[in-house]
Structure 1
Amino acid sequence: MSPEVTAELAAGVLTVTFRRPERRNALTWDMYEGLVAACERADADPEVRALVVRGEGGRAFAAGTDIGQFRAFASGADGVAYERRGTAVLDRVRAVGVPTVAAVAGYCVGGGLGIACAADLRIATPGSRFGVPIARTLGNCLSARTLDLMVEALGRPLTADLLLTARMLETVEAARVPGFLHAVVDDLDAGLDALTGRLTTGAPLTIWATKRLLDDRSADDTAVVDRVYGSTDFRTTVAGFGQGGTPSWTGT
């Protein structure tokens, strides 16, 4: 993994940190690939109960893709390949089997906003800024899938507003968008501890089923529902309900 992105596991939380603060954590392909590798690890390691993505330095979550990634583009085909590759990263974040959290402090722009929208939950500090100001900067466009994730998180009217006017969304306005921000926190670490404490102590199979079916609500849910209701966790907690104590989840 690139030194510009690290993944550290503690108390069931795998924290991915973009470590390029001198460039406002502008994303290189090595950093995107490091994020994908962390997603693979989250799904492969049963000790991982939540995945957090954040940026180092406090000035930015990620200020978009590094412009240097575009300098070698020679044709529109290069742009198509870039957007397809970026879409694959966002889809991998969305597909992680444990809850995902984007912890935003500062700029969350372009590809950074795409990652945040692909996460299940978002928290942010006051003064953070969200946007994709490409109509005033690069003059490129987003893939349909990236737009879909933005519309899901922000709604179509606001997505159109941000892209067509190239303005930035401040935290105070973002907090008024239903469901976009889980919380606005002065202390990002404390906010993360409170949120991940809830995520890592919930019933693993309930969380797994929720994530799986939210992302494919038209699918046949028989196997998922059967696995949850047929689990040891469900039988044990039903038998002990009302007797006091906290459930001890096994994920089986």
Structure 2
Amino acid sequence: MYNNITSSTKEGITTITINRPSKLNALNRETIQELHQAFKSADEDKNTKVIIITGTGEKAFVAGADISEFADFSVEEGGSLAAKGQELLFDFVANLSTPVIAAVNGFALGGGLELAMAAHFRVASENAKMGLPEVSLGVIPGYGGTQRLPQLVGKGRAMEMIMTAGMVDAKQALQYGLVNHVVSLEELIVFTEKLASKIMRNSSVAIAGAIKAVNAAYDESVDGFKVEIAQFGNCFGTEDFKEGTTAFLEKRPPNFPGK
């Protein structure tokens, strides 16, 4: 079905793996399109409660964009490349109603770090290295990197990372708040699946509402507090709310229908 990625679902977790090891899993246009389709399918699949995005092998999550595809682009083509990529993949993932965890194995550079930052949070292997090296090529991050990196690590650190085109290791990334956890490469997927299992115990409907409300805080065109109030109110009309509150009062674990 896919040329550049794999997607498999097991026990409520869909794992999407970028599978271009000879190119260190670099993102070309075809891979971005396939990732869009895989995320869309997983989000629409009622059996999928959490999505994990990772890369094949031990070296790289995604080592960046495929530079050979756009080295001769014009101004208009460059702008279109960024706009289409953000719409198809990076903004799409950030606003997905299904939780997305990035399991960062090895290098996450340029578009790779931008993809990891679009996920709802990140777990890194000890050998992970992250950075936005675009200015060393005479261009800037174009898939949301200049916006999401400051949100996660603060303006000063983001400016330094972008201007120096340097990399941070997993320990620094943890200290910066760029990743939530650092584990050994061997533990990475198992640890991420355990986090996914904790998420799956809760109401998928409520989680979708929480994602919308949290994302609204970073959208200057909307009032995040109003979005929170609306999403909070919506919860009261769900079967999950009825089940959650009933289970609490009956002192038993909830069995959420996801409606």
1:118-137 map, 5 Å: 118-136=118-136
1:63-102 map, 5 Å: 63-73=63-73, 75-88=74-87, 89-102=89-102
Residue type at the aligned position of 2:80: A
Of 191-200 and 214-223, more deviation after overlay is shown by 214-223
CA distance in 1, matches of 2:51, 2:154: 24
Contact 1:2 1:30 in 2 (8 A): no
CA distance in 1, matches of 2:152, 2:117: 6
Q: Structure 1 length as normaliser, TM-score?
A: 0.92
1:241 counterpart = 2:248: yes
Quickly say closer, same or farther: Cα 1:234–1:27, change in 2 above 3 A. Answer: same
List per-residue Cα deviations over 1:23-51 (Å, max 9, x = no partner).
11111111111111122112211111111
Contact 2:103 2:188 in 1 (8 A): yes
Percent identical: 26
Quickly say closer, same or farther: Cα 1:243–1:25, change in 2 above 3 A. Answer: same
**Alignment-derived partner of residue 191 in structure 2:** 191
Contact 1:27 1:64 in 2 (8 A): yes
**Alignment-derived partner of residue 46 in structure 1:** 46
1:105 counterpart = 2:112: no
1:230 counterpart = 2:228: no
Detail structure 1 runs of 4+ shifted over 6 Å in the superposition.
none
Contact 2:132 2:161 in 1 (8 A): yes
Residue type at the aligned position of 1:167: G
Q: Which secondary structure state, in structure 2, belongs to the residue aligned with residue 175 of structure 1?
A: helix
Q: Which secondary structure state, in structure 2, belongs to the residue aligned with residue 135 of structure 1?
A: helix
Quickly say closer, same or farther: Cα 1:37–1:144, change in 2 above 3 A. Answer: closer
Structure 1 position 112, deviation (Å):
0.5
Residue type at the aligned position of 1:172: K
Q: Which secondary structure state, in structure 2, belongs to the residue aligned with residue 196 of structure 1?
A: helix
CA distance in 2, matches of 1:236, 1:25: 43
**Alignment-derived partner of residue 161 in structure 1:** 160
Contact 1:28 1:66 in 2 (8 A): yes
Of 222-231 and 89-98, more deviation after overlay is shown by 222-231
CA distance in 2, matches of 1:133, 1:240: 50
Contact 1:103 1:123 in 2 (8 A): yes
Q: Which secondary structure state, in structure 1, belongs to the residue aligned with residue 201 of structure 2?
A: coil
RMSD of the TM alignment (CA)? 1.7
Structure 1 position 97, deviation (Å):
0.6
